Amino acid sequence: MSDERAAANARTRNRGIPDATVARLPIYLRALHTLADAGQRTVSSEELATVAGVNSAKLRKDLSHLGSYGTRGVGYDVAVLVDTISQALGLTQRWAVALVGVGNLGHALAGYAGFASRGFRIAALLDADPDRVGERLHGMVVRHIDELPAVVAEGSVSIGVIATPANAAQDVCDRLVAVGVTSILNFAPCVLSVPDNVDVRKVDLSIELQILSFHESRKAALTSLPSALSDDGEDEYDEAVGP
């Protein structure tokens, strides 16, 4: 619910860029970097759309929200687009990130190259487990979660990443919010409640698998009894074997 509020809130803060567009800008940016690395100076909406895996009308509309700088009859200047999108996403500054939870997943995240390469700097690794505190990891030392206020004071952290077990996540979240963190990326499989001014995004691996499971079982049902297609009249009378 504060989830919803936060989303709605964010929406009104947006300079009017739709959420769906914002979510795609990083994809365009990645595609543009690839093109730039290959030495390409200019790109059409058609080509960029293909590389980014969307259709060209969508791409053009997305870019138009940035007040984009394409040239009719030609296309977009790759370097200009990179700048425009980076600017829009706020990537002209390096954001400091605090990573909380140095377990299985936290280890991996600490070493994830994609963080640094996209302008994010891991400012601290934190954990509640005293056994883990002091451990060296990818050139950083794990500190105790109680040091969070000090960490934030040192290098104004504005993004927190939660990679703890679910039962610790809300507590960690509250601590992050308490020290002024206003953006949180949550890997713990649970819903976090936060004030309206805090944005939370969540990544849940098992949810993604369950969504695939849904589609997979649809596909399986189709191939094993293709006649199921025909009784798809309007509602259900579906396959199943009741409980």
Partner DNA sequence: GCATGTGAATGTGTTCACAGCA
Partner DNA sequence: TGCTGTGAACACATTCACATGC
- By a kind-dependent CB cut-off of 5 to 8 A, residue 213 interacts, out of a second copy, DNA, none, with a second copy
Among candidates 116, 115, 122, 133, which has minimal Cα distance to 99? 122
User: Segment near DNA (CB under 7 A), from 72-80, 145-153, 176-184, 185-193?
Assistant: 72-80
- Taking the least distance from each CB to DNA, the nearer of 33 and 175 is 33
Contacts of 121 (CB under 8 A, 6+ apart): 94, 95, 96, 97, 115
Give the residue carrying structure tokens 């396959």: 239
- By a kind-dependent CB cut-off of 5 to 8 A, residue 63 interacts, out of a second copy, DNA, none, with DNA
Q: Is 77 helix (H, G, I), strand (E, B) or coil?
A: strand
- Taking the least distance from each CB to a second copy, the nearer of 154 and 238 is 238
Regarding 71 and contact with DNA (CB under 7 A), the answer is yes
Rg for the chain, CA atoms, rounded: 22
Whether residue 175 contacts residue 148, with contact meaning beta carbons closer than 8 Å, is answered with yes
User: Segment near DNA (CB under 7 A), from 52-60, 148-156, 203-211, 226-234?
Assistant: 52-60
Q: Minimum distance between the CB of residue 146 and a second copy, rounded to whole angstroms?
A: 25
Among candidates 127, 124, 123, which has minimal Cα distance to 101? 127
Tokens for 123, please give them: 């400012």
Q: Which residues bind DNA (CB under 7 A)?
A: 4, 8, 11, 18-21, 43-46, 54-58, 60-61, 63-64, 68-76
